[in-house]
């Protein structure tokens, strides 16, 4: 009987508690696409990502992503330039919007819009990277002048020369339509010139921007970074 009982127990299926069964790892949510750039911010403007539970402040020239919920407080102001469409939206508080791929979906308030063109929008996509590089530059480091550290500029090809010509033409249009203290036209121009290695031209544009808005930190950071690069 003992052997028969053991044989029956061995034949029974092993029951595992449901909580102990390990399933496949949950798929992580895809990161929302970059939609545009906050090209002007005043007041405590905040945003909350699509999967976030808390809000964070919006800073000048930070990227906003599709699905971000943005709140502009009373007396605050936010301008967004969308990469894909070149649409520039100005939101005066109190306002609330959800960032879309090419425009904002208003929940409260209404945007004043300008069409800057897709070429302008695309040019600004790499500007936050350049700003991060400028911000991480250590102002106290030793600069080596002349000698092997001298960089020989590479001539622009025909396509790049056309890009520069188009950028200057667009800049003149933007500057004509901009307010006196609006540094967006200069920041757009630098976003085209700087990746092409045109440091001297970029420096000149940023000096204009700093003169127009002495309290704007972003053009000042880029200007200091470029001056340090040119001194090496």
For residues 149 and 68, state if they share a domain: no
Cβ distance 109 to 75 under 8 Å? Answer: no
10 within a domain of the structure (yes/no): no
Domain membership flag for residue 5: no
Domain for residue 14, yes or no?
no
Average pLDDT of adjacent 10-residue blocks, the chain of 232 residues: 48 49 54 90 94 91 95 97 94 96 95 92 88 69 35 69 92 93 94 90 95 93 86 68
Please tell me whether residues 109 and 163 are part of one structural domain: no
108 and 201 within one domain: no
Say how many domains are in the chain: 2
Let me know if residue 111 belongs to a domain.
Answer: yes
The two tokens of residue 102 are 């090419």
Task: Report yes or no on 179 lying in a domain.
Answer: yes
167 lies in a domain?
yes
Task: Specify the residue for token string 């500029």.
Answer: 153
Distance from C-alpha of 106 to C-alpha of 70, rounded to nearest angstrom: 10
CA distance 3 to 208: 95
pLDDT at 130: 87
Give the number of residues written for the chain: 232
H or E stretch including 114?
strand 112-115
CB-based contact 73:43 (threshold 8 Å): yes
In 3D, which of 138, 137, 117 has the Cα closest to residue 192? 117
Can you tell me the distance from the alpha carbon of 228 to that of 232, in angstroms, rounded to the nearest whole number? Answer: 7
Q: How far is CA 214 from the centre of its chain?
A: 22
Whether residues 151 and 71 share a domain: the answer is no
Task: Find tokens 């950028």 and name the residue.
Answer: 167
Look at residue 153 in the predicted model and tell me its pLDDT.
52
Are residue 111 and residue 128 in the same domain, yes or no? no
Range of the domain at 135: 119-231
**210 and 223 housed in the same domain:** yes
Same domain? For 174 and 101 the reply is no
Judge residue 137's burial from the number of C-beta atoms within 10 Å of its C-beta, 0-12 exposed, 13-18 middle, 19 or more buried: middle
In this structure, the answer to whether residues 225 and 125 fall within a common structural domain is yes
CA separation, residue 218 to residues 129, 142, 158 (Å)? 12, 23, 31
Q: Is residue 213 part of a domain?
A: yes
Cα–Cα dist 162/196, whole Å: 12
pLDDT at 8: 46
19 domain residue, yes or no: no
């Amino acid at each position: 009987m003992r052997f028969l009982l053991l044989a029956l127990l061995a034949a029974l299926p092993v029951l595992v508690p449901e909580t102990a069964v390990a399933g496949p790892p949950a798929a992580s949510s895809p990161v929302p696409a970059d939609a545009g750039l906050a090209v002007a911010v005043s007041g405590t403007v905040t945003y909350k990502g699509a999967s976030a539970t808390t809000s964070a402040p919006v800073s000048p020239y930070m990227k906003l992503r599709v699905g971000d919920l943005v709140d502009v407080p009373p007396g605050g102001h936010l301008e967004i330039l969308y990469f894909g469409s070149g649409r520039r939206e100005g939101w005066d508080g109190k306002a609330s919007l959800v960032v879309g791929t090419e425009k904002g979906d208003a929940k409260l308030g209404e945007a004043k819009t300008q069409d800057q063109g897709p070429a302008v929008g695309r040019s600004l996509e790499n500007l936050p990277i350049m700003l991060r590089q400028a911000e991480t530059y250590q102002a106290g480091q030793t600069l080596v002048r002349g000698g092997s550290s001298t960089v020989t500029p590479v001539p622009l090809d025909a396509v790049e020369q056309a890009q520069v010509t188009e950028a200057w033409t667009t800049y003149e249009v933007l500057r004509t339509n901009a307010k006196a203290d609006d540094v967006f036209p200069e920041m757009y121009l630098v976003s085209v010139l700087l990746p092409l290695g045109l440091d001297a031209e970029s420096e000149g544009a940023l000096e204009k921007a700093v003169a127009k808005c002495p309290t704007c930190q972003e053009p000042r950071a880029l200007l200091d970074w470029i001056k340090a690069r040119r001194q090496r």
